[in-house]
Structure 1
């Protein structure tokens, strides 16, 4: 923060900003946990298009690196079949 910018005060937060800060992000997975579950998750998706794993779904929505890995694995498994 530079000297020309006044510090942010609690009263400066909008209701939308407060809601975003308080958003429940559970179920939460780290990238390591996601990677450990990725093979099983992608295989389940390929076997059942209705398969949902809320923690994996949430993580893959927010993590471009893991999402790319999952998409690559899915493409590889589809090409193999």
Structure 2
């Protein structure tokens, strides 16, 4: 029987309330990333929860942040 790494188990157990689908996350991604770059203290609970539990969307957000902050 395969064993899941601890980080995979933790991602499956993340509370995703308020729920945000990948499509909704993608629609809000640009605005969210620009807000985070402008103010690192910016909070969007729906986006934060989704990104904590979705590696694909989180990777996209991190890539956009890196692109916007590259000098």
Normalising by the smaller structure, the TM-score range is 0.7 to 0.9
Match 2:57 to one of 54, 58, 66: 66
> RCO higher in 1 or 2 (8 Å CA, sep ≥ 6)?
2
CA root-mean-square deviation: 1.8
Q: Which residues of structure 2 form unaligned runs of 5+?
A: 1-12
**How many residues get paired?**
59
Distance 1:56 1:65 in 2: 13
Report the counterpart of residue 4 of structure 2 in structure 1.
none
Bigger radius of gyration among the two: 1
Q: What TM-score comes out, normalization by structure 1 length?
A: 0.67
| TM-score (ref. length: structure 2) | 0.76
